[in-house]
Structure 1
Amino acid sequence: MAIPFKASYPLFLCLILFCGVNCTEFEVGGHDGWVVPKTDDDSQMYNQWASQNRFKVDDTLLFKYEKDSVMEVTEEEYEDCKSPRPLFFSNNGDTVFKFDRPGLFYFISGVRGHCDRGQKMIIKVLDIEATPSPQYANESAPKPHKKSGVAELTPMRIITASTLFVMSTFLLQLYV
């Protein structure tokens, strides 16, 4: 018996809700946004904020600011508070930066003097592949192997959104 296409809308809605909520947007600096810290005591405020959050690949940072900029830089440029060639630069006042890999990310203001006064931040993006999952909690359970820095997929890994979409399309065609 074929299910009418309209009857499959709830299935699509469930798939969208299941697949679409996999990343988080973090607003840097909260209500104040990306600004120069007001006092010397606040010079570590962005790193303190970053240490209280957990970032993963595909999460985004929202930098809100006026008459400023944000740059992703190397560790050395972060320490020097200047970069002639940043890895990323934006000065549109409403910058979104998406994490595309695990590891450390260094951000500074591009306005002279702002970084020296504390407008800089280090973010650690977690390597989800390296984080033990419940299936590996037992010492006797098989552990994932790594080749060339990429973890092999096991049957217990999370199914990607594109795989779910292909599977749902196939199943829908069975009913039509």
Structure 2
Amino acid sequence: MKSSTKLVLFFLLLSSFNLFYVTGKEFQLDWEVPKSRTQQVYNQWASENRFNVNDTLNFKYKKDSVMVVSEEEYEKCHSSHPLYFSNNGDSTVFELDRPGLFFFISGVAGHCQRGQKMIIKVLEHASPSQSQTQNATTKGSSSKKNAAIGMLPISSPAILLLIISVFGFLSL
């Protein structure tokens, strides 16, 4: 086999690695004041979903804002110095960039007190079996509840084995 053909095959194989890259899921939610003050609409929704590092939340709203605050500010429903603030018109996309708890409240006066707040628990990186189960569950859900945009993960040893095989092929 000509060396130029081997080189082309090598680059094609190398460029296909991005197919195995694990991306997060995007969860969409309508960010509005709940109809009843006693409803825990957003925390109920959050408890029905599993969030991992690199997942994103897409808040859809009209004339509102999204703030990430400390636990204390979440309890008080007020923050003069939020960790994150956005009011991009009609939607905000927020990436869950670490494991742990995220506390969200509306930045509009009175909305948080009326139930427009949410706690998200982000898990450590999921194992392949968790991701596959989660993808199957998410695909059956309505896009309003959440939407999956992930791919199956591949292990590091499998990638290493593939690279070694390619170099073995190139040396033929």
- TM-score normalised according to structure 1 size: 0.67
| Equivalence map 1:20-169=2 (5 Å) | 21-27=22-28, 29=29, 33-41=30-38, 43-92=39-88, 93-128=90-125, 158-159=155-156
How far is the alpha carbon of 1:100 from its aligned partner?
A: 1.4
Which residue in the other structure is 1:18 paired with? 20
Cα distance between partner residues in 1 of 2:48 and 2:55: 15
Number of residues of Structure 1 aligned to a counterpart in Structure 2: 142
Partner deviation per Cα, 1:113-164 (whole Å, 9 max, x = no partner): 00001100000001238x8x9xxxxxxxxxxxxxxxxxxxxxxx9439xxx6
- Structure 2 segments unaligned to the other structure (5+ residues): 130-153
Q: For residue 116 of structure 1, give the secondary structure of its aligned residue in structure 2.
A: coil
* Larger RCO (CA within 8 A; separation ≥ 6): 2
Structure 1 residue ranges, 4+ long, deviating more than 2 angstroms after superposition: 1-14, 157-160
- The letter for the 2-side match of 1:71 is M
- Structure 1 segments unaligned to the other structure (5+ residues): 134-156
Partner deviation per Cα, 1:25-68 (whole Å, 9 max, x = no partner): 111x3xxx111112234x30100000011111111111111110
Instruction: Say what the alpha-carbon RMSD is for the aligned residues.
Output: 3.4
- TM-score normalised according to structure 2 size: 0.68
Cα distance between partner residues in 1 of 2:62 and 2:8: 47
Percent identical across equivalent pairs? 54
Cα distance between partner residues in 2 of 1:158 and 1:97: 27
Q: For residue 128 of structure 1, give the secondary structure of its aligned residue in structure 2.
A: coil
